[in-house]
Amino acid sequence: MGTHLPSTEFDGTAVDDQREADAEAVMGEPPAQMVQLLGPDGKLGFDPVFTEYAEKVTPEVLRGLYADMAAIRRFDVEATALQRQGQLALWVPLTGQEAAQIGSGRASRPQDYIFPTYREHGVAYTRNVDLAELLRQFRGVSNGGWNPKDTNFHLYTLVLAAQTLHAVGYAMGIQRDQKLSAAHGSGEEAAVIAYFGDGASSEGDVHESMVFASSYNAPVVFFCQNNHWAISVPTNVQTRVPLSNRAKGYGFPGIRVDGNDVIAVHAVTEWALEHARQGKGPVLIEAFTYRVGAHTTADDPTKYRQSAEEDAWRAKDPLARVEKYLRAEGLADDAFFAKVKADGDELAAYVRRTTHDLETPDIRSAFANTYAEAHPLVAEELAWFEEYTAGFEGGDLPAGSSGQPAAKAGH
């Protein structure tokens, strides 16, 4: 008997669309529609609400969005290679989700504040976070890597869904600050974006954050990147209807957008942020996308999903559809795409060079940073670690394995 692998519920097939429609019919409501403007064929469509916002994406802006997506994909490839070569302890790939991240990030304004998870490298790029600095955390030489005050882009949150509560609290603070500023006739309107995945949507923190956001009309946009897999758990295990429908239960708008369509993502996010800044309350965006690679470099997706599914989503590649459109409309030529590739290679070389120049992680600092004051259990674990490393020549860990025993000792 062959191994049965679970399949995702929302893979764009007629069978799954019908399943979704049936679920909606039980509730007496029409099936949720997905906003799509630029299809996989590279042709631009129309939406009665969001085409108006999409028209702000000029050819120059669209070329910039493509360049951003290409750059962050090249960065992702380089970071993965660095991890495989022992330069990073772990890496969290984003390939396949470039449009969701670049489109939403570029729709934000400098005064907006962003709360990411641990995969929003593309959003970080749009907020001018130095990508080499971003890798400091994954190398283990920093608990963060950058100063959020410089970019309004918060540090990565490794605790699943915790950032959604932080985001709502911050948004409520912005709300109060803006009331004071309005009384004095000063200040810019701002909003918050909270990123999370389909897996995190099952966490209680997300529910609680949406309750608070709705109750206090907080200026926050919940941006869910539904990449179909919460590590090895498919979307249909977590929800029977589109995640965007959950917003109805909290009393605010929910929008499902093609997360591989950078134009639609940009338009929807711009609308949602405008809605929040104007004091109209929160919005939930479900960016319907796909994680092409592994959950992290410690994951093997071949164990739980089929290659045919991956191939089907590669045909919906966010970069390919923009390239088709730019070429078909005569908005970009070979010289443009060659320059984009060269710029990406230059970025990759910079990231590689600066990563190699980073100091070697000292795992002993993890023991010192666990508690503010000395703790007997931590002291015991440190003693075990010191005894272990003393067994190697030179009294330290062998090259390429500096992080492994420490992870065991720290836990």
Query: 139: domain CATH number?
Result: 3.40.50.970
Residues 284, 391 share a domain:
no
What pLDDT sits at residue 8?
42
- Residue 43 resides in a domain: yes
**Does residue 310 fall inside a structural domain?**
yes
Q: Is 320 helix (H, G, I), strand (E, B) or coil?
A: helix
Catalytic residue among 106, 119, 139, 295: 295
Calculate the dihedral angle through the C-alpha atoms of 247, 225, 199, 206, rounding to the nearest 10 degrees. Answer: -40
Looking at the fold, whether 145 and 94 belong to one and the same domain comes out as: yes
Domain-located, residue 24: yes
Same structural domain, 90 and 208: yes
Residue from 216, 240, 304, 388 carrying the catalytic annotation: 304
Q: Which domain holds residue 399?
A: 364-410
Distance of CA 14 to the CA centre of its chain: 28
4 is a domain residue: no
Q: Which of 329, 357, 385 is the last residue of a domain?
A: 357
User: Do 238 and 275 touch, CB atoms closer than 8 A?
Assistant: no
The Cα 97–Cα 32 span in angstroms is 22
Q: Are residues 153 and 274 in the same domain?
A: yes
Quick one: 142 and 191 in the same domain?
A: yes
Pick the closest to residue 35 from 278, 266, 290 (CA basis): 266
Tell me if residue 375 is catalytic.
no
In this prediction, residue 365 carries a pLDDT of 83
Tell me, yes or no, whether 177 and 123 share the same domain: yes
Tell me the one-letter amino acid at 91. W
Active-site residue identified among 291, 305, 321, 352: 291
Q: How many folded domains does the chain comprise? A: 2
Do strands 283-288 and 254-258 pair parallel, antiparallel, or not at all (unpaired)? parallel
Q: For residues 225 and 308, what is the distance between their CA atoms, to the nearest angstrom?
A: 22
Please give the pLDDT value at position 363: 81
Per-residue pLDDT of the chain (411 residues; tens, 9 = 90+): 444 444 444 444 444 445 555 555 554 555 568 999 999 999 999 999 999 999 999 999 999 999 999 999 999 999 999 999 999 999 999 999 999 999 999 999 999 999 999 999 999 999 999 999 999 999 988 888 899 999 999 999 999 999 999 999 999 999 999 887 776 666 789 999 999 999 999 999 999 999 999 999 999 999 999 999 999 999 999 998 999 999 999 999 999 999 999 999 999 999 999 999 999 999 999 999 999 999 999 999 999 999 999 999 999 999 999 999 999 999 999 999 999 999 999 999 999 999 999 888 788 888 888 899 999 999 999 999 999 988 887 655 544 444 443 333 333
> Do 175 and 311 fall into the same domain?
yes
- Is 191 a domain residue? yes
Q: Tell whether 32 and 111 lie within a shared domain.
A: yes
Residue 377 CA: distances (Å) to CA of 62, 314, 371? 55, 49, 11
Residues 333 and 392 in one domain: no
Does residue 9 form part of some domain? Answer: no
- What pLDDT, on the 0 to 100 scale, is given for residue 32? 67
251 and 304 in a common domain = yes
Q: Are residues 112 and 173 in the same domain?
A: yes
Query: Please, what sign has the CA dihedral across residues 222, 225, 228, 229?
Result: negative
Catalytic-residue membership of 304 = yes
Report the predicted TM-score, pTM, of the whole model to 2 decimal places.
0.87
Say if residue 271 is in the same domain as residue 371. no
